Amino acid sequence: MMNVLIAGVGGQGTLLASRVLGKYAMLAGKDCKLSEIHGMSQRGGSVVTHVRIGDKIYSPVIWEGSADVILAFEALEAVRVKHYLKKDGILLTNDEKILPMPCITGAAKYPDGLKEKLTGESANVHFIPAQKWAMEAGSAKATNIVILGALCKLCGLDRTVMAEAVAACVPEKFQALNLKAFELGFERV
């Protein structure tokens, strides 16, 4: 059983990332459930999607203290969901900072020292410049795929099958770009 929680900001491609993992599960012949929320939260709000892969899955939702892996596309979102991580779980986050509206208006302050906070609480924390690597691959939009490449390496998942899943889930004209993003994430993490 593998529980992956994906956290990001609406518009960052968390849905696509969870669907790639779902495709991976299908190709690997496993049972799988995904849970996502569409609608209002997508408008720049916090977005969390759940991926559960195993022999038999009941709940589509991961609960607090049960995620094997947290993939975060933004550092504040990593902190928001960190309590979902189980003991010795892996937390992998993009080091990018996107200000939420209360921080833009000055009603709240974007907290400092997020990296130190997270690494102080769990041994398996990886901050990577996923957005920069994605831009090297050709587009900031491929940040999600860079992170999946890094996940593949850190969790020892099948690289070929995951690449196949990526190729199957992205539009054909962006396939090469995304596969490059995937490889950069895998190689550099």
Partner 1 sequence: MKELMLTNKAIARGAYEAGVKVLSAYPGTPSTEIAENFVKHEGVYAEWAPNEKVAVEVAIGAAVGGVRAMACMKHVGLNVAADPLFTAAYTGVNGGLVIVVADDPGMHSSQNEQDSRYYARGAHVPMLEPSDANEAKEFVKLAYEISEKFDTPVLLRETTRVAHSHGMVELCEREEIGVKPYEKSAAKYVMMPANAIKRHVVLEQRDKDLLAYACSAACNRAEYTNEEEIGVVCSGVVYEYVKEALPNANVYKIGMVHPVPAPAIAEFAKNVKKLYVIEELEPFIEDALKAAGIACEGKSLFSLQGEISVPKIKAAFGLETEMTIEAENVPARPPVMCAGCPHRGVFYVLNKLKLTVNGDIGCYTLGAVAPLSAVDTCVCMGASVGMAHGMKKATDGEIRNVAVIGDSTFLHSGVTGLINAVYNQSGITLLILDNSTTGMTGHQQHPATGKNLKGEPAPVVLLDELCRACGVKDLAIVDAYDVKAVEKAVKAAIASPEVSVIIAQRPCALLDKSSKPKMKVENCKNCGVCMRIGCPAISMGENGVVIDANQCTGCGVCAAVCPFNALVKEGK
Among residues 2, 28, 54, 110, the one that binds partner 1 under rule CB under 8 A: 110
80 sits near partner 1 (criterion: CB under 8 A): yes
Residues near partner 1 (CB under 8 A), total: 58
Q: Least Å distance between CB 169 and partner 1?
A: 11
58 sits near partner 1 (criterion: CB under 8 A): yes
Q: Least Å distance between CB 36 and partner 1?
A: 5
With contacts defined by CB under 8 A, name the span among 109-117, 145-153, 154-162, 179-187 that binds partner 1.
Answer: 109-117
Q: Look at the alpha carbons of 89, 80, 4, 151 in this order and tell me if their dihedral is positive or negative.
A: negative
Query: CB-based burial of residue 111 (10 Å sphere; 0-12 exposed, 13-18 middle, 19+ buried)?
Result: exposed
Residue 181 · residue 151 · CB < 8 Å: no
Among residues 3, 72, 95, 107, the one that binds partner 1 under rule CB under 8 A: 107
23 sits near partner 1 (criterion: CB under 8 A): yes
Question: For 17, phi and psi rounded to 5 degrees?
Answer: -60, -40
Contacts of 48 (CB under 8 A, 6+ apart): 5, 6, 7, 14, 37, 81
Compute CA distances 181 → 37, 58, 64, 101, whole Å. Answer: 26, 33, 30, 29
Residue 50 · residue 60 · CB < 8 Å: yes
Q: Which is nearer to partner 1, 26 or 153 (CB)?
A: 26
Residues found near partner 1 in the complex (CB under 8 A): 9-11, 19, 22-23, 25-26, 31-46, 57-61, 63-66, 76-77, 79-80, 82-83, 85-87, 99-111, 121-122, 140
